[in-house]
């Protein structure tokens, strides 16, 4: 259980930290288009960050359960 928790925690942190790159990708836009794209994708970035937090929280729960079962 601890291994699963650690993996989920790492995945959740990576999703949270790289949420802008996940949503927007490596798009090259002109400055006026970039402003509009940031406005359009800001909600999606927040949603991806929240999913990363949820996955990390589930990983912490698995870590705690694994530690409780061991002792």
So what's the pLDDT on residue 56? 98
pLDDT on residue 31:
83
pLDDT of 71 reads: 76
Q: Are 10 and 53 in contact (CB under 8 A)?
A: no
Mean pLDDT computed over every residue of the chain = 92
Contact 3, 70 (CB under 8 A): no
- pTM for this predicted structure: 0.85
- Domain assignment of residue 54, given as a range: 2-70
For the chain, list residues with pLDDT below 70: none
Give CA separation, 52 vs 5, 15, 31, in Å: 14, 5, 29
Q: Provide the domain count of the chain.
A: 1
Q: Identify the pLDDT of residue 9.
A: 97
């Amino acid at each position: 259980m601890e291994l699963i928790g650690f993996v989920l925690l790492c995945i959740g942190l990576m999703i949270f930290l790289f949420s802008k790159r996940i949503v927007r990708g490596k798009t090259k836009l002109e400055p006026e288009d970039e402003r509009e794209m940031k406005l359009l994708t800001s909600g999606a970035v927040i949603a991806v960050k929240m999913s990363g937090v949820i996955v990390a929280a589930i990983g912490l729960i698995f870590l705690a359960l694994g530690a409780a079962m061991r002792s």
